Amino acid sequence: MKEIKNKAKKEKVVLVIEDERPLVEAINTKLEQNGLVVITARTVEQALHYLEDIAAIDAVWLDHYLLGSDNGLDFVAKIKSASSKWKKIPIFVVSNTASSTNVQSYIRLGVKKYYVKAGHRLEGIIKEIKSFLDHPDE
Amino acid sequence: MRKKIISLADDIARKLKILAEEKEDVRQKLAVTAEALRLKAKQLVVTAKEKEDVRQKLAVTAEALRLKAKQLAVTAKEKEDVRQKLEVTAKEKEDVRQKLEVTAKEKEDVRRKLAVTAEALRLKAKQLAVSRETLEEKVLERTKDIAEARAKEEAILASIGDGLAVVDKEGKIMYVNQSFEQMLGLKVKEVIGRSMVEVVPREDQNGAEVQFEERILTQVLSGKKFVADLTNPFYYIRKDKSRFPVSSIVTPVVLGGKIVGAVETFRDITKEKDIDKAKSEFVSLASHQLRTPLSSVNWYAEMLLAGDVGKVTPEQKKYLEEVYRGNQRMVGLVNALLDVSRIELGTFLVEPEPTDIVKLAQVEIGEQKLQIGAKQIQFSSSFEKNIPLILADPKLLHMAVQNLLTNAVKYTPEGGKVRLTIALSDVHVLIKVSDTGYGIPKNQHDKIFTKLFRADNVREKDTEGTGLGLYIVKSIIEHSGGKIWFSSPGKTPLGGESQENPGTAFHVTLPIN
C-alpha cells in the first residue's frame, strides 16, 4: 500500500472495477503499458474500501455488472453523493450492458464517459483515459 | 152766444183738467216708468257686469274648449288609428273565422270518418278481446324468457374480467361491473350518476393528474378519434388513494348516427409491466453475457497483434487478423440481434425530437468516407433546400441511414457509384440511396426485409453481413410512421447499369409532422 501511495505522487492511479478475470488481466496489462498504476476490485464493496485506504485514486474504470449485490450504478450513486469526498474522481464506464435506461442513468449521475466494451479497442479507451488524466481541463 | 163760449170754456177747462189729469197720469206713469227704467238700467248694469263675467268665463271656457278640441282631435286621430286597426283585426278575425269554418268542415269530415272507424274498431275490439287472452299467456311466457336472458346478460357483464364502465354522453356513469368495483375499491351506488372522470382520477408515470380535457373519455365523447400512446403508461387511482398501471380502451356508443355515450374497458397491467421490465433486464443481461467473451477475444487478439506479449510473425499476424475479424463479425451479429430482440419485445426506447435529416445524412457520409475511399466509390449526394425538421428519434434514424449507406457501399464493386438524395414531397421527406452494385435477384425481392436473410448473389461474393440490417431498418422506418421500398434493377439516373451490376435503389419516406 505504501508503495502505491508513493507512486501515486508521480504516476496516475486507476481503480479498475471489473469482475471478469480475463478482461481484468488484459486491462491491467494495457494500462500499465501506458504508464498507469492499476488497482483492481471485483465488487463495489471492495472498490469502496480501496478508495478509503488509498487516498490518491485518479480515475475509475467501471463495469456495470459486478460480483456482489451492488452494480456499477450503485457505486456511482455512492461516489457522487453530496457528502462524498470522491465526487471529483472521473469515472469511465466500460460495460456491455445494452439498456439505454442504464446508460442514461450513468450519464445523469455524472460519469465522465460511457463505452460499450465490445465496440472499442482496448487501446482506444485507454488512450482517451490517459489523455484526460494528462489534460483534465479539456 | 156767451153761454156757448162758457160752455166751450168749461169744455175746454174740463178737457184741460182731463188732459192735466191725463198728463199727471202720464207723468206719474213716466215717473214710474222712469223709476222702472232706472231700476232697469241698474239691473242692466248688473246684467252687463254679469254678462262681462260670463263672457270672461266663456272666454276661459272657449280656451279650455279649444284645448279640449285639440285633445279631441288627437284622440280623434288615435281613435281613427284604433278604428283602422280594429278594421284590420276585424279583417283578420274574418279570415280566421273563415279558416275556422274550413277547419270546422274538415273536423266534421274527420268526425264522420271517425264514426265509421269507431264502428270498425268496436268490431275489431271484440275480436281482439278474444286474442288478448291467448296473447297474455304468451306474453307471460316471453317475459320469463327475456328476464332469464337479461339475467344471463347481466351475469355476463358483471363477470367480465376487465373493468367495465358505461357512461352517457355527458360522461356520467350509467353502469359498472364487479371488476370495476373490485379494481377501484368503489361500490356501484357510490358512482352511479357521477362523472367518470371525477370518480376515477388518472395520472401519468410522474404522478401528474390527467386533466378533464385530456382524458380519453372526454375526447371520445366529443367525437375525436383517440390513438393511445403506448410509451406513456397511465395509472388509475383507487378509492384508498393507491394506484395501479392500467390499459384501457374507450369506444363511443353510436345510436342513429349520434354519440349517446361511451364504453370503457380497462385492465390492471401491473403483471404485464413487471414482465416488460423483466424482458428489458433479460435483454440487457443477455447482451452483457454475449458480449463479454467477445470483448475478451477482441482485446486479447488486439494485444497479440500489437505485439504486447511478444513479436508476431507475419504468418501469425494473418491468422490473428482472421481471429480478430471473425470476432468483429460476431460482435456485429450480437449487436444486430440485440436490436432485433428489442424491436420485437417493444423495449426499444424511442425518443422522438425534431431532427435535421440532412445534417444526420451528412454525418453518416462522413463516417463512410474511409470505406468509400478504400473502394474508390464515386459518391454523390444532393439535398433539396428547406427540408423541414422531422419528428424522429435521431439515434434510430442514424442507424437506418447508416445501414442503407453501408449496404450501398458494401454491395457495389470498386469504382462503382453510390448516390444519396433527400427531397421534399408534400408532407413527406424522401430519402433515396442508389448504387450501381450487385442488385437484388428478382426471385428474392420478397425476402429482402426478413430476418437473417441474405441474397444468393452477395453470399457468392463473400461479402459480410448479418442478414438483419434491412429488417431493423424497416422496423425503424415503419415505427417512425414512414415507408421503405426498393427497386432493382435500380431505376436511377446513375447510368452505367450492366447485366452484372444492375444496381439497387432504396426509397424511404418519412412524415414531416
| Chain A positions in Cβ-Cβ contact with residue B287 (cut-off 8 Å) | 96-98
Distance CA B497, CA B505 (A): 12
Task: Say yes or no for a CB contact (<8 Å) between A96 and B280.
Answer: no
Task: Say yes or no for a CB contact (<8 Å) between A26 and B299.
Answer: yes
Q: Within a domain: residue B39?
A: no
pTM for this entry: 0.53
Q: Which of A64, A100, A119 sits opposite B349 (nearest CB)?
A: A100
Are residues B372 and B447 part of one domain?
yes
Q: Long-range contacts for B223-227 (Cβ within 8 Å, ≥24 apart)?
A: B223/B252, B223/B259, B226/B250
| Chain B positions in Cβ-Cβ contact with residue A102 (cut-off 8 Å) | 284
Are residues B370 and B492 part of one domain?
yes
Q: Within a domain: residue B228?
A: yes
* Domain limits for position B430: 351-511
Looking at the 3D structure of chain B, how many domains does it have?
A: 3
pLDDT digits (tens, 9 = 90+) for B462-503: 777 888 899 889 988 988 889 999 988 865 555 545 667 889
What is the CATH classification number for the domain harbouring B235? 3.30.450.20
Q: Within a domain: residue B16?
A: no
Distance CA B302, CA B308 (A): 9
| Chain B positions in Cβ-Cβ contact with residue A118 (cut-off 8 Å) | 291, 294-295, 298, 331, 334-335
Are residues B398 and B295 part of one domain?
no
Closest CA to A41 of A33, A32, A49: A49
Regarding beta strands A113-116 and B163-168, do their DSSP bridges make them parallel or antiparallel, or are they unpaired?
unpaired
Residue of A nearest to B351 (CA): A100
Which one of A25, A117, A123 makes the best mutation probe of the B interface by having the most chain B beta carbons within 10 Å? A117
| Chain A positions in Cβ-Cβ contact with residue B342 (cut-off 8 Å) | 98
Rounded to the nearest 10 degrees, the angle between the axes of helix A122-134 and helix B270-305 is: 90
**Which of these three, B290, B322, B344, is where a domain ends?**
B344
Distance CA B350, CA A102 (A): 15
Distance CA B22, CA B47 (A): 34
**How far does Cα A99 stand from its chain's mean position?**
20
Q: Give pLDDT, residue B287.
A: 78
**Which of these three, B344, B363, B396, is where a domain ends?**
B344
Per-residue pLDDT of chain B (513 residues; tens, 9 = 90+): 777 777 887 888 888 888 778 777 877 777 777 777 788 778 778 777 887 887 888 788 778 878 887 887 887 788 888 888 888 888 888 888 888 888 888 889 988 888 888 888 888 888 888 788 888 888 889 889 988 998 898 888 877 888 999 999 888 999 999 899 999 999 999 999 999 888 888 887 777 788 777 787 788 877 776 666 555 578 899 989 898 988 888 888 888 888 888 898 888 888 888 887 787 777 767 877 888 899 999 999 999 999 988 999 999 999 999 999 999 988 888 888 888 777 776 666 677 888 899 999 999 999 889 889 999 999 999 999 888 888 888 888 998 999 999 999 999 999 999 999 999 988 899 999 999 999 998 888 888 888 888 888 888 887 778 888 998 899 889 888 899 999 888 655 555 456 678 899 999 999 886
| Chain A positions in Cβ-Cβ contact with residue B284 (cut-off 8 Å) | 97-99, 102
Q: Within a domain: residue B384?
A: yes
Q: What percent of chain A has pLDDT over 90?
A: 62
Are residues B356 and B330 part of one domain?
no
Q: Within a domain: residue B209?
A: yes
Are residues B505 and B365 part of one domain?
yes
pLDDT above 90 for A15: yes
Q: Within a domain: residue B112?
A: no
Are residues B282 and B256 part of one domain?
no
Q: Give pLDDT, residue B128.
A: 80
Shortest CA gap B343–chain A (Å) = 13
pLDDT digits (tens, 9 = 90+) for A39-68: 999 999 999 999 989 878 999 999 998 998
**Which of these three, B344, B378, B395, is where a domain ends?**
B344
Q: Give pLDDT, residue A8.
A: 45
What grid cell was written down for B316? 501469425
Q: Which domains does chain A have, with CATH numbers?
A: 2-125 (3.40.50.2300)
Contact assessment for residue B276 and residue B347, using Cβ atoms and an 8 Å cutoff: yes
Residue B306 at interface with chain A, using a CB cutoff of 8 Å: yes
Q: Give pLDDT, residue A31.
A: 94
For B60, residues 6+ apart whose C-beta sits below 8 A from its C-beta are none
Contact assessment for residue B482 and residue B508, using Cβ atoms and an 8 Å cutoff: yes
Q: Within a domain: residue B30?
A: no
Are residues B437 and B331 part of one domain?
no
Which one of B298, B299, B303, B393 makes the best mutation probe of the A interface by having the most chain A beta carbons within 10 Å? B299
Q: Give pLDDT, residue B481.
A: 86
Task: Say yes or no for a CB contact (<8 Å) between A99 and B280.
Answer: yes
Q: Which of A22, A99, A100 sits opposite B296 (nearest CB)?
A: A22
What is the CATH classification number for the domain harbouring B399? 3.30.565.10
| Reported ipTM | 0.85
Distance CA A112, CA A116 (A): 14
Are residues B466 and B371 part of one domain?
yes
Are residues B460 and B438 part of one domain?
yes
Closest CA to A14 of A77, A61, A47: A61
Q: Give pLDDT, residue B257.
A: 86
Give start and end residues of each alpha helix (H) in B346-383: 357-374
Q: Give pLDDT, residue B64.
A: 83
Number of CB pairs, chain A paired with chain B, less than 8 A apart: 68
Distance CA B29, CA B22 (A): 10
Distance CA A122, CA B309 (A): 15
What is the CATH classification number for the domain harbouring B311? 1.10.287
Query: Residue holding cell 433479460?
Result: B282
Distance CA A56, CA A35 (A): 16
Shortest CA gap A58–chain B (Å) = 24
Are residues B388 and B454 part of one domain?
yes
Q: What average pLDDT does range A86-113 have in this prediction?
A: 88
Regarding beta strands B243-255 and B258-268, do their DSSP bridges make them parallel or antiparallel, or are they unpaired?
antiparallel
Q: Which of B284, B296, B302 sits opposite A102 (nearest CB)?
A: B284
Q: Within a domain: residue B336?
A: yes
Are residues B502 and B403 part of one domain?
yes
Are residues B505 and B441 part of one domain?
yes
Contact assessment for residue A92 and residue A14, using Cβ atoms and an 8 Å cutoff: no
Closest CA to B163 of B43, B293, B268, B303: B268
Give chain A's length. 138
